[in-house]
Amino acid sequence: MQKRKLGKSNLEVSALGLGCMGMSFSYGPAGDKQEMISVIRSAVEQGVTFFDTAEVYGPFTNEELVGEALAPVRGKVVIATKFGFDCDTGKQGGLNSQPEHIRKVVDASLKRLKIQTIDLLYQHRVDPDVPIEDVAGTVKDLIRQGKVKHFGLSEAGVQTIRRAHAVQPVTALQSEYSLWWREPEAEVLPTLEELGIGFVPFSPLGKGFLTGKISADTKFDANDFRNKVPRFDPENRKANQALVEVVETFAKQKQATPAQVALAWVLAQKPWIVPIPGTTKLHRLRENIGAVLLHLTPEDLRALEGAASKISVQGARYPEHLQKLVGR
């Protein structure tokens, strides 16, 4: 497994991480605990050293799962988690980045994760009621206390990134990025490059769509978040199939899978980008890891982007109430 550094921070991780959210939350029923532990430990055996969770996933159960799975190999891995939602009052979706709340959440996350220090702590969503300087200052204190090593932001806009970075250097930004969501290229990626901040794309496979395994007829579980995502409306899925066909064509040429091409494309964009595809299946894990060895030449990238740019992706990536929480 190749390694990458997240920006100028010297935080070195495997070129591909593992997003653990879907094991407990958001994509239908939670997976069997022992099976999920097996997937996480198999990832470690295959060289993955970067694992992503959050207190809101469950809530709480995903951190517990990740903590248990990684306890035997703690010294070999980097664990990232997040604060920023109000999980205690049952108001799921309510934001809370008050300094006292952050401190409380970090203590609880450390216990659930069975660790002494959080390697990378993200603000999950920007809280308009708390100045980002106060958030960054609180994390700076936690770093001084040894409870946290690195500070990250998720789905933040460029002005917020700059303001936070001025108080406590931001190691990584986590946001959605893939062949079918390229908005970060306009302002976010140039800002990260300028400031020396790493980028951790979630949903690099378009929430599964770029694997080619989802069609207009696919039925999702009743608890699957994609039921509420406009981009996954059956009509939009039908229209967006054109992008998958482009990826599938390239995959055939490269004797790879569509998922591997989609991940290799993300990896080829910048050396400080570390995607975190999620999976609950061992064979998918192996397939995703194979993307690290798939080399796309500059000609491949130009051809792939040229074909993809002719396709207008249909549907918003979030329902309206969640769209309001991004890009602040």
The residues that are catalytic are 57
The DSSP string of 66-129 is HHHHHGGGGGG-EEEEEE-B--TTS-TT-B---HHHHHHHHHHHHHHHT-SSEEEEEESS--TT
- C-alpha pair distances (Å), 174 with each of 98, 295, 306, 318: 21, 24, 26, 16
Buried/exposed code over 107-126 (b: 16+ C-beta within 10 A; e: otherwise): ebbbebbbbebbbbbbbbbb
Contact 284, 36 (CB under 8 A): no
What kind and span of H or E run contains 321? helix 320-323
Query: ω before 59 within 30° of 0 (cis)?
Result: yes
The DSSP string of 259-298 is HHHHHHHHHHH-TTB----B-S-HHHHHHHHHGGG-PPPH
Contact 208, 215 (CB under 8 A): no
Residue 176's nearest CA partner among 308, 296, 317, 5 is 317
Q: What is the largest CA-CA distance in the chain?
A: 54
In degrees rounded to 5, what are phi and psi of residue 141? -60, -40
Q: What is the pairing mode between strands 18-19 and 50-52?
A: parallel
Contact 16, 48 (CB under 8 A): yes
SS3 of residue 194 by DSSP = helix
How many angstroms separate the CA atoms of 207 and 262, rounded? 12
Contact 260, 287 (CB under 8 A): yes
